[in-house]
Chain A
Amino acid sequence: MSQYTVRATPEAREAGAITLSVASLPESFGPAGDYDNAHVHAIAGHAGWTTEAARAISAGARGVVVVNPAPEDTDDLDDAAQQNGTVVVLDQRWASNPAATAAEVAVRSMAGRAAVLDVVATAPLGTDIGALIADQLAAVVRLAGPLGNLKLLDRRQNGYTATAVLANGAPVALQGIISDARPASVNITMLTDDGGARVTLPDPVAAWPATVKVTGPQGELLVPTIYESAHRTTWRRLKEHLDAGTLPSDLRQFAAVSEAIASLT
Chain B
Amino acid sequence: MSSHTDATRILGVGILGAGPVTQAIHLPSLARLGHILAVRHIMDVDPTVAESVAARVGAAHSTSIDALLGDPDVDIVAICSPHQFHAEQVIAACRAGKKAVLCEKPFAMNADEAARISAVSQETAVPIIVGAMHTFDPGWIAASEDWGELPEHAHTIRSSIVLPPNARFEDFATEIITRPAGAAPDYSDPEVIKGALRGGVMGLAIHDLPLIRRFTPDFKDVEVLEARHVRPFGYVISLRTPTRSIELRAAMNNTWKPEWSFEAVSDDAALRIDFTPSYVQAGSAVATLTQGTRTTVHGPFEHNGYEGEWRELAALATGEKQPPSAQSLIDDLTFALDIAEATVTHVDTRNAVVEGARA
Contacts and interface: CB of A to CB of B under 8 A. Distances in A.
A4 B245 CA distance: 49
A159 B228 CA distance: 21
A116 B230 contact: yes
B253 A163 contact: no
A226 B162 CA distance: 28
A179 B266 contact: yes
A173 B249 CA distance: 9
Contacts of A118: 160, 236, 249
Interface stretch (A9-17, A25-33, A188-196): A188-196
Interface in B254-283: 254-257, 265-270
A102 B219 CA distance: 42
Interface of A: prevailing SS = strand
B231 interface: yes
Given A154-B225, A173-B247, A179-B268, A116 B257 contact: no
Interface residues of B, number: 34
A165 B234 CA distance: 16
Contacts of A171: 228-230, 236
Given A161-B225, A163-B238, A193-B232, A181 B269 contact: yes
Given A173-B238, A181-B292, A161 B251 contact: no
Contact of B253 (A173, A182, A193): A193
A159 B156 contact: yes
Interface string A164-186: 00000011010101111110000
A153 B267 contact: no
A217 interface: yes
Contacts of B249: 116, 118, 173
B331 interface: no
B155 A158 contact: yes
Interface of A: 115-116, 118, 120, 122, 125, 153-154, 156, 158-159, 161, 163, 170-171, 173, 175, 177-182, 191-196, 215, 217, 220
Given A116-B249, A171-B229, A215-B257, 4 more contacts: A154-B245, A161-B225, A191-B255, A194-B255
26 contacts: A115-B231, A115-B232, A115-B251, A116-B234, A116-B236, A118-B236, A125-B267, A153-B225, A153-B226, A156-B155, A158-B155, A158-B245, A161-B247, A173-B236, A173-B238, A173-B249, A175-B247, A177-B265, A179-B156, A179-B265, A180-B268, A191-B230, A191-B251, A193-B254, A195-B257, A215-B255
Interface of B: 155-156, 158, 160, 162, 225-226, 228-232, 234, 236, 238, 240, 245, 247, 249, 251, 253-257, 265-270, 290-292
